[in-house]
Amino acid sequence: MPSKTMKILLFLLLCLVSAGCARFNPEAVRSEHALSFSAALEARTERVLSESGALNLHQCIDLALENNLNVQAADIEARIARLNRQVAFSHFLPSIEMSYTSTELNKTPSSSMFGPFAVSVQDRIVRETMVKAQMPVFAPATWFLYDAHRHGEAIGTLVSDYARQMIALQVTGLYFQCLALEEAGKALASQHASARVLCGEVEAFYGAGLVMESDVLQARTLVLSRGRDCEKNMRELAEARSGLLEVMGLSPLASLTLDAETPVELPEGETADWIMHALLHHPRLAIADRQAAIEEDKLKIAITEFLPVLALFSARNHTTNSKNTYPYMTALGFTGMMTVFNGFANINEYKAARLHKKGAYLALERESLSLMAQVYQSRLQVDNAESDSVLAAAALEAAEAALREAEVRFHEGVINTSDVMEARSRRDSAASFVIAAEYQKQVTAAVACNVMGATFRGDKVSSL
């Protein structure tokens, strides 16, 4: 008859088998996630936008750093790296093993060495417990493995911070893109209004027999073209706002209102100063430094494969077997292990580790050279943006003068309304170009800060 223990084990086995036979319904799982995700996203979006109103650049960056999924994923990887380092530290601690064994036989083991007489040599039911502890004394690979995980933890922290820098830069670019498209929309609306006025005048002249039918058709085509430009700009603005909402971790379908500001300041110093700051502070180089240090640790671990590993151990054992003279047993010992017959593999692993180390330092130099080129290119982009700003200001001054002259000539009866409207639309376009040039200067300044390792993050600049 099965014992109570066997019944319990059979019951647990049946539970595991039944759980493993459960079917996965992909349609139900996908439907449940879609509904729950949409509801949570809409609730968060409504709460954030209702509390904030019009968002400036500081608020957009703060929301992105709080809700962006890439930032949260980078934080998880950083925590995993910290846990891996803690796991590596456990190798320095003594390992303790505890075991319990219960053996139940249907008959008592006996010996027939005395002829017809059977002598019991063991109890029918025997329970044994054991506690064993082992402590490493000389295991150099453990030290280098822990140091490698320590560098891995630092890399996880750097990657998490660098992810925040890149998200802040992405938000900055999308923020000013939205503002530039809004200003462009105002200029295009002015041009559309000017085209409608011109079309009305041409139709009136056509009614008086002063122009040809082709002139009317061209004027109507101009109105359609300017209207198409306005609609296209609105769609581009909706796309940019959708991208900005996505980066901020909000619903891309929500309506967004932005409060225009230009808080990004251009870094001080010459190009050489920018390059030196990038070489000293950029997180990509800091990550490459630690990756090279990890490869050095791996090389040291390959060297330790030729050394023995020494450890101390102790054990305490107890048995309920009444036939044993001593139910309690204590053991103390010293163990050592050294590989002898796999030296060929150890030698080649050592050679491979040396090459990996060399490759890591080459990657560090390659990253440094690439970063220097990016800093120089960002400086050129800053200069281009400054030139565009100067040109846009001059164009606006000329357009305003042309508008004043057109208004004077209109009051004198020299020109028509369409001519004044055209001059006004040109002035509005020039004004939008000035604002767009200022926004472009903000974006290039943000890129310059980023490649220097000092990314603008709203109310402060982060520098590692």
Domain boundaries, the chain: 55-105+120-463
Q: What is the pLDDT of residue 372?
A: 94
At 191-218, the pLDDT tens digits run 899 889 888 888 888 888 877 888 889 8
Q: What is the pLDDT of residue 393?
A: 93
CB of 314 within 8 A of CB of 330?
yes
Give dist(CA 351, CA 405) in Å, integer. Answer: 81
Over residues 375-402, the mean pLDDT reads 93
- As beta bridge partners, residue 110 has 120
The secondary structure of residue 10, as a DSSP letter, is H
Q: What is the pLDDT of residue 462?
A: 45
At 314-351, the pLDDT tens digits run 888 998 888 788 888 888 887 777 776 566 677 778 88
- Whether the predicted pLDDT of 459 surpasses 60: no
- Whether the predicted pLDDT of 120 surpasses 70: yes
pLDDT band, very low/low/confident/very high, at 20 (cuts 50, 70, 90): low
- Whether the predicted pLDDT of 247 surpasses 70: yes
Strands (E), 172-322: 309-319
- Whether the predicted pLDDT of 21 surpasses 60: no
Over residues 259-266, the mean pLDDT reads 88
Task: Report phi then psi at 113, rounded to 5.
Answer: -70, -10
Q: What is the pLDDT of residue 458?
A: 63
Give dist(CA 317, CA 99) in Å, integer. Answer: 10
State if pTM tops 0.85: no
CB of 336 within 8 A of CB of 312?
no
Question: What does the block give as tokens for 94?
Answer: 């003594």
Closest CA to 144 of 276, 307, 311, 283: 307
Q: Range with the lowest mean pLDDT among 59-63, 162-166, 208-212, 231-235?
A: 208-212
Q: What is the pLDDT of residue 17?
A: 61
CB of 439 within 8 A of CB of 179?
yes
At 25-40, the pLDDT tens digits run 888 888 888 899 889 9
Give dist(CA 176, CA 183) in Å, integer. Answer: 11
- Give the architecture-level CATH label for domain 55-105+120-463: Up-down Bundle (1.20)
- Whether the predicted pLDDT of 367 surpasses 80: yes
Over residues 401-411, the mean pLDDT reads 86
Give dist(CA 286, CA 149) in Å, integer. Answer: 16
Over residues 162-171, the mean pLDDT reads 92
C-beta atoms surrounding 181 within 10 Å: 22
- Whether the predicted pLDDT of 7 surpasses 70: no
State the SS3 of 423-458.
Answer: HHHHHHHHHHHHHHHHHHHHHHHHHHHHHCCEEECC
Share of the chain above pLDDT 90, in %: 36
pLDDT band, very low/low/confident/very high, at 464 (cuts 50, 70, 90): very low
pLDDT band, very low/low/confident/very high, at 231 (cuts 50, 70, 90): very high
